[in-house]
Chains A and B, each alone.
Chain A
Amino acid sequence: GENVEQHPSTLSVQEGDSAVIKCTYSDSASNYFPWYKQELGKRPQLIIDIRSNVGEKKDQRIAVTLNKTAKHFSLHITETQPEDSAVYFCAASMDQPGNQFYFGTGTSLTVIP
C-alpha cells in the first residue's frame, strides 16, 4: 500500500519567515494530495490540496508544489504568523472507491513572535 513520509517532525521559525514542510509518497497511482492543519485540541481542517495534473497551487500565503516524477510534494507558508502555529499533515489518495487517505505523521510548526 501507499506510504507517506513527512519531514520535519518539528519546525520553529521566526514570525515573518517562511516555513516548508515536505512529504514523499511511494505509490505512483496516488493523484490527490491534501494538506490539513490541526490546532491544539481542534479537528484537522483542510488548508490546501493539489491534484496530480497540476504542479503548483497557491492560496494567499500558502502554496503547495508537486513533483510527480520524484513523488514528493511540499507545503510552503510565507510571512508566517503566530496563528500559523499548529500541526500540519500531508496526505495522499488514489482515484479509487473507498476514499482512503494515507497521512504523514505530522509536522509541529511553531512560529516565534
Chain B
Amino acid sequence: KAGVTQTPRYLIKTRGQQVTLSCSPISGHRSVSWYQQTPGQGLQFLFEYFSETQRNKGNFPGRFSGRQFSNSRSEMNVSTLELGDSALYLCASNRDGDQETQYFGPGTRLLVL
C-alpha cells in the first residue's frame, strides 16, 4: 500500500496570506489527524476527521480549519498567516480512529515571511 502523502512538501508564504495543505491517507483509512510540529513544542494536535466529520479539535485559533472529502482525503487551511505559523504540518491516518497506530505523512514545511 502507498503511504500517507502530503502536498506540497514545501511552501513559502507571506504574512496575511492564506494556505491550503493536502493529505491523502493510506487506502482504506478513514481517520485523518493533523499536527503542527515546531522545535521545542513537539507535535501539537490540530484536528481529526473521520468520515467527513470533524470529531476533535485542538487549541488552535479559528484561522486553522480543515475538511475531509468522501474519499478520505483531507485539507487544512490557515488564513491570515502569522510568522508563528511557520512549522512542519504533519497529517496522520488510521483505519477507524480511536487508539490505533497512526501512520504519518512526510509533512509540509511552511515558512511564513
Contacts and interface: CB of A to CB of B under 8 A. Distances in A.
B42 A103 contact: yes
A47 to B, nearest CB: 11
Nearest to A106: B42
Interface in B89-113: 90, 94, 97-107
Interface string A33-58: 01010000011111001000000000
B99 A43 contact: no
Contacts of B99: 31-32, 93, 95, 99
Contact of B106 (A6, A32, A43, A102): A43
A96 B45 contact: no
Interface residues of B, number: 29
Interface residues on A, range: 20 to 34
Interface in A54-111: 89, 91, 93, 95-106
Interface stretch (B12-20, B48-56, B62-70, B72-80): B48-56
Contacts of A105: 40-42
Interface of A: 1, 6, 31-32, 34, 36, 42-46, 49, 89, 91, 93, 95-106
